[in-house]
Amino acid sequence: MTAVVSDRATVARQSRTAVRRSPAPARWWAAAWRPLTLVVAVLVVWWVVTAQGWLAPYVLPSPADTWAAAAENAAYLGQHTWVTTYETVIGFALAVVIGELVAVLMAYSPTTERTVYPIILVAQVVPKIAIAPLFVVWLGFGVAPKITVAVLMAFFPVVISGLAGLRSVDPEVIELTSTMGASRLKTFAKVMFPASLPQLLSGLKVAATLAVTGAVVGEFVGGNEGLGYVILQANGNIDTAMLFAALVVMSLLGIVLFLIIEIAERLLIGWHPSRRAATAATTVAGA
């Protein structure tokens, strides 16, 4: 029996080192080559279409024109990108904090849930772009209305996924912890919250991309800063190349935020089956 035990121990240890052994660049490449190929393909099609003159430059500028527009106005773009990034990140952070707080309140108190849920639902159903002008009236032309729209857009997925995560905790685990005589706070910190992370984090991915949208929607409605403003200006000047440049930067902003959460996921919930599957697949592909 001891032999069986030590056998299994060796196997477990070996499988753990096997995962570690495949070198980081190889794993990165194995995960990245497909999407990268697709991006290159899109660029090539884009370039061919514009180079052949099938579409007028003011309809579809060439990749080179877009790049030139971005490079010429790098400082201008950079300044407005910073504003949008700032609004997005603050809006996202506020949405996460408020959303998780509401989720926790709802998970622990059915009364709160019944009271608050309809309000949250109504706030979600109302088109944000329709109420954005109202925020300009209330909050002026600064960053405040933009952050507010970003919070409103990102808030809903945080609440829903946070609540679903807290609800997903194994009832036996909860019974078990109640025999351990721990306070609610301790149970939350050590059991409930960690167990809810996988669901919460997938909600955060949706929320991050919505926060970018929210900030830009806010910029469309009023003000003279941010990528939304840049797009409006470029549109007014029929400067399609600049418009495309702003669009690309905006997409990159969303992707970067998404990737940050992806990394957080890897660090925080490497134990979860979804992440284990991802690691295994990469290892197999890399082998």
Partner 1 sequence: MTTLTEEPGVAGTAQDVVSVDGVSVTFRSKRASTSALGEVDLAVRPGEFVSIVGPSGCGKSTLLKVVAGLVAPTTGQVRLRGDVVAGPRPDIGFVFQRAALLDWRTAEGNILLQAEMRGMDAAAARRRCAELIETTGLSGFEKAMPHELSGGMQQRVSLCRALLHEPDVLLMDEPFGALDALTRERMNVELQRVCREAGVTVLLVTHSVPEAVYLGDRVVVMGPRPSRVVEELRVDLPPVRDYTAAMEDPEFHRVASRVRTLLGSPQGGD
- Residue closer to partner 1 (CB basis): 198 or 203: 198
Cβ atoms of 156 and 119 closer than 8 Å = no
Q: How many residues does the structure list for the chain?
A: 287
With CB under 8 A as the contact rule, which of the stretches 29-37, 80-88, 184-192, 227-235 interacts with partner 1? 184-192
- Contacting residues for 240 by C-beta, under 8 A, at least 6 apart: 57, 58, 59, 60, 61, 234
Position 186 contacts partner 1 (CB under 8 A): yes
Per-residue contact track with partner 1, 139 to 168, x per CB under 8 A? ------------------------------
Minimum distance from residue 271 beta carbon to partner 1 (Å): 4
Residue of the chain from 149, 195, 207, 231 that contacts partner 1 (CB under 8 A):
195
Radius of gyration of the chain (CA): 24
Between CA 63 and CA 252 the distance in angstroms is 16
Residue of the chain from 44, 45, 56, 180 that contacts partner 1 (CB under 8 A):
180
Between CA 65 and CA 241 the distance in angstroms is 6
Cβ atoms of 165 and 197 closer than 8 Å = yes
- Residue closer to partner 1 (CB basis): 20 or 34: 20
With CB under 8 A as the contact rule, which of the stretches 11-19, 141-149, 204-212, 249-257 interacts with partner 1? 11-19
Between CA 230 and CA 209 the distance in angstroms is 19
Binding-residue total with partner 1 (CB under 8 A): 31
- Residue closer to partner 1 (CB basis): 13 or 133: 13
Between CA 84 and CA 228 the distance in angstroms is 8
Residues lying near partner 1 in the complex (CB under 8 A): 1-2, 5-6, 8-9, 12, 15-16, 170, 172-173, 175-182, 186-187, 190-191, 194-195, 269, 271-273, 276
